[in-house]
Amino acid sequence: MSKLIKKRITYVEQACDEIHGFKKFYDEFQEKIVLSGNSGSTLTNYGRKIAQISLYFGKLPEEVPEKEINHYLASLARKSTNPSLSTFKFMVYGLRYYFRMIGKNDKAIRLPHLKHERKLPVVLNHRECISLFKAGDMIKHRVLLSFIYSAGLRAQEAMRMKISDIDSGRMMIHIRQSKYNKDRYVPLSALMLQGLRRYIQVCKPVDYLFNGHEPGSQMSVRGMQWAMRQAVKKCKLQKRVSLHTLRHSYATHLLEFGMDIVTIKELLGHEKITTTMVYLHVAKPLRSNLFSPFDRLYGKD
């Protein structure tokens, strides 16, 4: 088995150097991802997992006996508290893609079936949102989290957002080539625009709205996640939340404020209405005559 990955060298880079045939596979893999129109995150996740398993066995997955691959997957599943939403999932999907790509569909079919759990998303209430948006020590982080929520953005969308995508004249935000390679527009909050102007005046970002360490570079998703974790810790939220929780909260709050589900689907950039309909199960009902029978037991109206 290969040595542990060296510091600052990615799994893919190490596999290209150490595993015979991996570089050729990865070059073809990159081409297929681009031609198929799949997202860059797909390439990153699948490619990294194939590199990991190749490094573990010291050879390409096709050269590893099926029994050994199953033992490896079983060990991943045992290490995870929720295998269907873990590295186990991406390893299985990555291997399926890999075997289909090299023409060995029979191996892809025999990989473990993944159970799709239907869990409702975690959503912040209004007070929690306000507390979170105030918690960041830096204006950049406060504006970042507020902006993601205000437009219902995915992390990758926030990372790629450019200053020129903020149209204050039309009060719209242009989200370019997101998931499914689609562009879309979402409304720009007037209050958010004030915060953005103050942030731009203070931090002077170049090109991208949220710069990384160097002017003109993108702030990484990892950096955004760190800002979220710090804010959550500071305002002592008890819910298990992530950056994507802001997008869930955006959709749920729009529904609670009376926006129709079809419009919300378009604002989120969902391909199917069924994806958006999950928020119908999360949103607080709008009817005013709802109550718990527990209160009536004790005479509280």
- Residues acting as catalytic residues: 154, 179, 244, 247, 270, 279
Helices (H), the chain: 11-18, 22-36, 40-57, 66-79, 87-101, 105-109, 126-135, 139-151, 155-160, 190-203, 221-234, 243-256, 261-268, 273-276, 293-297
Indicate the residue type of 184. R
Contact (CB, 8 A) for 12 and 26: yes
Contact (CB, 8 A) for 189 and 150: yes
CB atoms closer than 10 angstroms to residue 283: 17
User: Phi and psi (nearest 5°) for 119?
Assistant: -100, 140
- Virtual torsion, Cα 9, 12, 17, 20, nearest 10 deg: 160
Query: CB under 8 Å to 216, separation ≥6 — which residues?
Result: 206, 207, 208
Cα–Cα distance for residue pair 62/25, rounded to 1 Å: 11
Contact (CB, 8 A) for 146 and 189: no
β-partners of residue 172 are 167, 187
Q: How far are the Cα atoms of 90, 96, 117, 200 from residue 85, in angstroms, in the given order?
A: 8, 16, 9, 37
b/e sequence 173-193, b meaning 16+ C-beta within 10 Å = bbbeebeeeeeeebebbeebe
β-partners of residue 175 are 184
